[in-house]
């Protein structure tokens, strides 16, 4: 008998039917992966089934927990299930943990709201849980706040909350999406280990077939609120029956990049950007140490490293948003960033160096229409004629392969991929020679990632612009970048042609990063799959 199953589940938000009748189930000790793009209804169906959606959502169908119908149960009864019977792990552990409560309190509460225990017992059980999820020195971490922990540690805390009462089912909603590749691998291992030890049923939601490839027993592929394909994992990965599953498989980088960027030795050309012996520290904590590299004309240079390795600091220094403590940075032989205080980039250099940030939700002003956002660069740098402005903005939108009707919309009316295209359009508006792209696809679905990456490659070919492409994900880097720099703790540990670094990594750290790419146990399916998406 299934631990948890839904049958003909439908979820509606106002006039929007988010889930249109889905059925799936999971048994003890098994892992069900639900895969689909954002908006496919995968989270909505699980949250709806467990009563965690706001009251404005209406949920219909059947939800069985150990054979008992739980849909429509009063709040009080549902509350008794959540925690002791069903544990939850959500996507972003920072926003999902209470910022003003210590992690010890938050884990302890998961126990004390369901069981009467003394403070001392609670304290001990929390310490045991912290130890169980692999947090070193639990006693010292007990009274830390979430902001004191790294992303991976926070997600371990979330998992500790989920397993606190040893539930029979854990629902993990994109639990590794916001994390570094290496941390993701560790969290996946942890979930798998806990599941094996406790015989828990696991429902794992993800947008990426590669992430779930090592742990899924069964896979449900969802799209537009419907189940597209539902099969044991082997069938999904080896014998996908639906086109959409093939498309998802095509976008998933199982165990490494599908293909490498076409090798062109762009470095040989005159270097565009020259970074010499740059160092930066914040409050006597060194972040970067003796970093030197160059970027050639029309070259895409990948910069890879984990959170805290200093890669975003390099991006900020090159973009002229910060100054180094030592060393210098020059563009076309012109120094512009030296040690010292104050001073933004001179106007002409600002035009030449543009930035695309990670979060397309945060980097666009939510109250301004796309047309106004895209007109800004031209207005700031001199164009005032209305008709001319409109033409230029339209051209930009065409350049990033969006339709003209987005101009009238607000950022909130666009999808994540569309927003990131707008951010890219804003960056290329003034025909810069270099764009610093800081994790530009990390917040996007895997299928959208593939599309944005191809857009960047085409823009490079068309406009001859160079990119510094910052990412924690080697898979993305491999498909796009000509060369790659590997950064560890503020120091460059490896530089080289992308394919060479991937196939013959020289440094142990690089090898560790490569080994963390999910899906290595599932060799990429047959080559023609790529044509579906790369055609």
Q: Toward another protein, which CB reaches closer, 284 or 403?
A: 284
Cα angle 86-87-89, degrees, rounded to a multiple of 5: 140
Taking CB under 8 A as the binding criterion, the range among 86-94, 266-274, 289-297, 470-478 that sits at the site for another protein is 86-94
Residue 72 in contact with another protein, rule: CB under 8 A: no
Q: Which of 492, 116, 430, 113 is nearest to 301 (CA)?
A: 492
Closest CA relative to residue 456, chosen from 346, 356, 306: 356
Asked whether the beta carbons of 183 and 58 are under 8 A apart, the reply is: no
Task: Decide whether 206 or 516 has the Cβ nearer to another protein.
Answer: 206
334 touching another protein, by CB under 8 A: no
80 binding another protein? (CB under 8 A): yes
- Rank residues 87 and 225 by Cβ distance to another protein and give the closer one: 87
Interaction between residue 4 and another protein (CB under 8 A): no
Which secondary-structure segment (H or E) carries 452?
Answer: helix 446-463
Interface residues for another protein in 248-287 (CB under 8 A)? none
Q: Does 58 bind another protein (CB under 8 A)?
A: no
Q: Containing H/E element for 371?
A: helix 370-380
CB of 129 to another protein, least distance (A): 13
Residue from 88, 142, 244, 336 in contact with another protein (CB under 8 A): 88
DSSP state of 413: G
Residue 105 per-residue DSSP state: H
Among 8, 69, 124, 147, binds another protein (CB under 8 A): 147
CA distance 300 to 458: 12
Q: Judged by CB under 8 A, which of 7, 23, 52, 345 binds another protein?
A: 52
Binder of another protein out of 109, 274, 401, 530 (CB under 8 A): 109
Dihedral angle, C-alpha 199, 200, 205, 210, nearest 10 °? -10
Helix (H) or strand (E) holding 233: helix 233-238
Nearer of residues 2 and 91 to another protein, judged by Cβ: 91
Residue 44 interacting with another protein (CB under 8 A): no
* One residue of 59, 110, 153, 476 binding another protein per CB under 8 A: 110
145 binds another protein (CB under 8 A): yes
126 binds another protein (CB under 8 A): no
What's the 3-state SS for 289-304? EEEEEEEECCCEEEEE
**Of 26, 59, 97, 251, the one binding another protein by CB under 8 A:** 97
Closest CA to 334 of 348, 323, 321, 315: 348
Instruction: Give the C-alpha separation, 219 to 230, whole Å.
Output: 6
Residues that bind another protein (CB under 8 A): 47, 50, 52, 75, 79-84, 87-88, 90, 92, 95-101, 109-110, 113-114, 143-148, 158, 161
């Amino acid at each position: 008998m299934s631990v948890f199953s839904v049958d003909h589940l439908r979820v509606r938000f106002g006039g929007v039917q988010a889930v249109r009748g889905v059925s799936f189930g999971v048994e003890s000790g098994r892992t069900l992966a639900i895969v689909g793009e954002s908006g496919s209804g995968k989270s909505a169906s699980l949250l709806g089934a467990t009563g965690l959606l706001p009251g404005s959502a209406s949920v219909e169908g059947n939800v069985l927990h150990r054979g008992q119908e739980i849909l429509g149960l009063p709040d009080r009864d549902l509350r008794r299930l959540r925690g002791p019977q069903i544990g939850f792990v959500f996507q972003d552990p920072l926003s999902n943990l209470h910022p003003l409560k210590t992690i010890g309190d938050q884990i302890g509460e998961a126990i004390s709201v369901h069981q009467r225990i003394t403070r001392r017992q609670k304290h001990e059980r929390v310490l045991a849980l912290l130890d169980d999820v692999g947090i070193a020195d639990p006693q010292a971490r007990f009274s830390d706040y979430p902001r004191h922990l790294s992303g991976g540690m926070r997600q371990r805390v979330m998992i500790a909350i989920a397993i606190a009462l040893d539930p029979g089912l854990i629902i993990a909603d994109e639990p590794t999406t916001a994390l570094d590749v290496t941390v993701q691998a560790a969290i996946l291992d942890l979930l798998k280990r806990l599941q094996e030890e406790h015989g828990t049923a696991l429902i794992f939601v993800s947008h990426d077939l590669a992430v779930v490839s090592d742990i899924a027993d069964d896979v449900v592929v969802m799209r537009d609120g419907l189940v597209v394909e539902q099969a044991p994992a082997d069938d999904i990965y080896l014998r996908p029956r639906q086109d959409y599953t093939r498309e998802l498989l095509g976008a998933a980088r199982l165990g490494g990049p599908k293909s490498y960027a076409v090798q062109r030795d762009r470095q040989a050309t005159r270097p565009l950007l020259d970074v010499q012996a740059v160092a930066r520290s914040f409050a006597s904590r060194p972040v970067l140490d003796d970093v030197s590299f160059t970027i050639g004309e029309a070259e895409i240079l990948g910069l890879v490293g984990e959170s805290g390795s200093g890669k975003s600091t390099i991006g900020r220094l090159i973009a002229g948003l910060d100054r180094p403590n030592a060393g210098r940075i020059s563009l076309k032989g012109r120094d512009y960033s030296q040690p010292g205080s104050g001073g933004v980039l001179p106007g002409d250099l600002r035009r030449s160096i543009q930035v695309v940030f990670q979060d397309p939700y945060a980097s666009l002003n939510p109250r301004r229409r796309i047309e106004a956002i895209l007109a800004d660069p031209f207005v700031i740098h001199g164009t005032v004629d209305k008709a001319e402005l409109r033409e230029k903005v339209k051209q930009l939108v065409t350049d990033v392969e969006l339709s003209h009707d987005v101009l009238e919309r607000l950022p909130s009316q666009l999808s994540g991929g569309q927003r990131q295209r707008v951010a890219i359009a804003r960056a290329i508006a003034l025909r810069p020679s270099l764009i610093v792209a800081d994790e530009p696809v990390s917040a996007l679905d895997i299928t959208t990632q593939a599309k944005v990456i191809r857009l960047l490659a085409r823009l490079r070919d068309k406009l001859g612009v160079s990119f510094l492409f910052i990412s924690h994900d080697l898979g993305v880097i491999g498909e796009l970048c000509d060369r790659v720099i590997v950064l560890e703790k503020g120091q460059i540990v490896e530089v080289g042609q992308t394919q060479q670094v991937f196939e013959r990594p020289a440094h142990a750290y690089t090898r560790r990063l490569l080994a963390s790419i999910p899906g290595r146990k599932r060799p990429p399916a047959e080559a023609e799959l790529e044509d579906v998406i790369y055609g």
